[in-house]
Each structure stands twice: as structure tokens, then as C-alpha cells.
Amino acid sequence: MLRLMYSSSAAAQVLRALDGNAALDPTTAAVFATVDFRALSVERAARLRNLSRHLQRTCPPLWKCLGEEVLAPLVEGYAGAEAFWQSEGRTLFENFCLYAHRTVAGTSRLHADVLHLFGLIGRFSAPELIAPPPDVCACTTGIPGEGLDAARAEDSPWDGGHLPRPVVPGALQVEGFHSAWRLVDERGRLPHSLTDARFGERGSYHIVVAAFPGDKVSAAALEL
């Protein structure tokens, strides 16, 4: 029932089953028969707005960069996808970026790379799950809590390609990927729009994102 409050396709599928006298379990059919689908559509729209607001508040720069026109359909698609109910990343925002990255990868490599960048930043913004490297004592990392799961921290759902993971002194965790766009300028500043100058001339870059003690995250573009 909860899926119907987020997924318009799931609600449509139930309606078709009820209208077509599909072979439904009697108990299930009885429950669905009590649903007011008009009220459900209002509830679903409100929940989608709340989901979009939450994701936007989590990472405003992504919305400034790609814009509502690109991201709104992705948020709606995410709410109706199986990925919404599965936890691949550390946060809801990272889960959304993983879904959106895979969705747009076949049509816009630039959009996919931007989502990859902000997805990694979102991943490293969950410091309680970032494990320190083996030679760093957990008590000096600035990360609260005990019993950090190093295996879980290293098991990233992002595909970094075949580039070697760079060594960043002092970093707790590092990930990267190849991009034809710089994405990050020389001062480590992130893109604010697709008209940003760093999206101009294409090249070959290793985009590196690193997490540091004190809940700090930085990004850099290394020219290949």
C-alpha cells in the first residue's frame, strides 16, 4: 500500500487489475477496493513534493547546476522505481543520485558525470559511516561513535572505472572517476550551472572526491 503513495505506475497497475477483474487474492482485492484513488493521487503529489524538497535541501548546488526541468522527472521516476525501496548508498540523497546517474547515462554523459560528482559528495557527507584507513586511530579522525564498519565503508556502489585510486594525504576515504569535463575548478569549487566555463572545452580528467577528518569533503579535477 505504501508504494501506491509514491508510485503513479503502481497505482495505475492496481486500478487496471481491479477494472479488469484480474485474479487477485480476495483479501488484497478487498483492501484495494477501499482505496480512494483520487485522494491517493493528492497524497502522492504531496509526498513527491516533500521528497523533492528534502533532496534539494540536502544538496542545493545540484539543483542549481542541473535545474528543476532535468531533476523533477528524475525524482518522480525514482519514487516509482525499485531503487527507491533499496538502500545502495549511505543516504537517501546518494540513493537518488545512483538512480538518476544510471537513468541519464545513456542520453547525457555530462548530466551523468555531474550526478556522479554530487553523489560521491553526498556519500562522504555521512561521516559516521566513513571508516578511517588501517593506520589511523579512530579516536583521531574526528568521527563520532565507535565500531565503524570498514568493510561497509569501502564497499562503494559507484563505478570508478579503471583509473587507479589516487593517494590523498590525510584523507579517510577517496573515490574518483573519469570525465570529459573538468567539473571542479582549480580552487576546488563545484559547478553552479551547465553554462559554467569549466563545462566548455572537453578534455580528459580524473575527478577525485576525498573525505577528511572533521566532516570535510573536497573535490579536485586532475588532467590526464
Q: How do residues 150-205 score in pLDDT, each as one tens digit?
A: 444 457 889 888 888 888 999 988 999 999 998 988 888 888 887 766 666 688 99
Judge whether residue 142 has pLDDT over 60: no
For the chain, the distance separating the N- and C-terminal CA atoms, rounded to the nearest angstrom, is 50
pTM reported for the whole predicted model? 0.79
Confidence bin at 3 (pLDDT 50/70/90)? confident
Cα 176-97-77 angle, rounded to 5 deg: 150
Summarize the confidence of residues 10-17 as an average pLDDT: 64
Which three three-digit cell numbers place residue 172?
579517510
- Look at residue 148 in the predicted model and tell me its pLDDT: 36
- Look at residue 29 in the predicted model and tell me its pLDDT: 66
User: What is the C-alpha separation between 106 and 62, in angstroms, rounded?
Assistant: 20
Summarize the confidence of residues 141-152 as an average pLDDT: 39
* Helix spans in 59-126 (H): 60-66, 68-79, 92-104, 109-124
Contact 95, 89 (CB under 8 A): yes
Judge whether residue 132 has pLDDT over 60: no
pLDDT > 90 fraction of the chain, expressed in percent and rounded = 33
The string of pLDDT tens digits covering residues 18-43 is 666 556 666 766 666 666 667 767 87
